[in-house]
Structures are given as structure tokens and as C-alpha cells.
Amino acid sequence: MAGGVPLPLKKLMEHFASLPGIGRKSAQRLAFHLLDIPEEEARSFAESILEARKAIHCCKVCQNFTDREVCEICGSDQRDPSVICVVENPKDVLAFERMQEYQGLYHVLHGLISPLDGVGPDQIRIKELLTRLQDTRVTEIIMATNPTIEGEATAMYISKLLLPLGLKVTRLAFGIPIGGELEYADSVTLGKALENRVDMG
């Protein structure tokens, strides 16, 4: 970009452009927007970033983001402590909670085992999951990592640790999405759907 962009504005644009999914043009638009809105709103935005970073950490039980020592879900007596759903990251917890049907607890791994990226079992929160199993109320672990190579490998690795403990370990069903059309399903999804077909009798 040629002259006419003062440095502090340029810096702000660069910060926006560093965010995922925000291109150069959007970053420019967002930076100008923050100069246009009332001073107080812009300050409040900046402070919400600092405040979130200061207040948010991982729940000491499930490792999900929280501003308490033990998160709202782990601390609730409305949830079923016998089931733990294991997910890759906090966004997955939000997806489950939006559904408003799951009543069990969660465990957030904060990553997946990925030897190519140098991420081994010790770099994700697996030992924190094992610690939780000292709670004898736990009977089922739902492996809800994504159906990717890393997601499958991680689910497999953890299930091999848990099965000898006599726990029920399940995996989320993968198949044709509801509302999807067979015609457009990729072969891998269609294969999964066929393999895991359910008896209608």
C-alpha cells in the first residue's frame, strides 16, 4: 500500500490481517471501523481482549476454557458424571452444547496426536483424562474427535488405554449428514455409512 497510511493505522490493519479468515481488504475495513466508532466502544473492545486473556484459563477437571477453577459444566449437579465426551478443542464443546441434548461431561484434549507435526500423546491432555477416571462414577467415554487421520489415530490411542480399565468406549457415528444427498456424498463417507448401517427391524 502506498503513502497515506499512518503507522498506527497500518499496525492495526496488520493485526486484523493476521486473524484467520480475514484478508487484506477486510482488515482494512475493520481497522477503519475501529477509528469510526465512539472512542468508548473501541476501548471496550481492546479491554475485552486483555480481560479474556487474563480471566480465561483451562478448567482443572475437563480442560475446557473457563473463568473459574472448575467450569460451569463440571461444577453442575444437572450433568451426568458417568459419561465423558472427549473432544479436540473448546469449539467442539460449543457445538455439542448448541444441540442441547447431551447431558454428560466433556474432556478437551487441546489438540490431536500428530507425529508429523511433532505432537505426541504427552503434548495433549490425555493424562488429565486418565486422572479423572479415578472417579468411579465414570462408565462411558465417547470419543468425539474429528473423522480425520489424526482424529482417528487419537481416538484409537486413547481407546487402547481405556478398554483394559473395563470402561465402555464409544465413537461418534459418521455417515451421510441429515439433509445431505447420497448423490453428492463422497465415497469415504458413503463407505462409512454402509459399514455402520443400523438394523431397522
Residues that bind a copy of itself (CB under 8 A): 1-9, 11-12, 15, 18-22, 26, 28-35, 39, 41-56, 64-68, 71-73, 76, 89-91, 93-94, 97-98, 100
Question: CB of residue 72 vs a copy of itself: minimum separation in angstroms?
Answer: 5
Question: CB of residue 81 vs a copy of itself: minimum separation in angstroms?
Answer: 16
The cell for 156 is: 484409537
Is 14 or 135 the residue whose CB approaches a copy of itself more closely? 14
The cell for 39 is: 472512542
Please state the φ and ψ torsions of residue 188, each to the nearest 5 degrees: -65, -45
Question: CB of residue 94 vs a copy of itself: minimum separation in angstroms?
Answer: 6
Instruction: Measure the CA angle with vertex 30, ends 29 and 32; round to 5°.
Output: 65
Is 15 or 127 the residue whose CB approaches a copy of itself more closely? 15
Q: How many CA atoms lie within 13 A of 102 on its CB side?
A: 21
Question: CB of residue 61 vs a copy of itself: minimum separation in angstroms?
Answer: 13
Is 52 or 156 the residue whose CB approaches a copy of itself more closely? 52
Question: CB of residue 163 vs a copy of itself: minimum separation in angstroms?
Answer: 28
Q: Are 173 and 196 in contact (CB under 8 A)?
A: yes
Question: CB of residue 153 vs a copy of itself: minimum separation in angstroms?
Answer: 22
Is 35 or 163 the residue whose CB approaches a copy of itself more closely? 35
The terminus-to-terminus CA distance of the chain in angstroms comes to 66
Cα 5 from Cα 14, distance rounded (Å): 12
Is 11 or 168 the residue whose CB approaches a copy of itself more closely? 11
DSSP state, 180?
A: -
* Cβ-based neighbour number of residue 107 at 10 Å: 24
Number of helical H runs and strand E runs in the chain: 8, 6
Is 1 or 178 the residue whose CB approaches a copy of itself more closely? 1
Helix 7-17 / helix 24-36 crossing angle, nearest 10 deg: 130
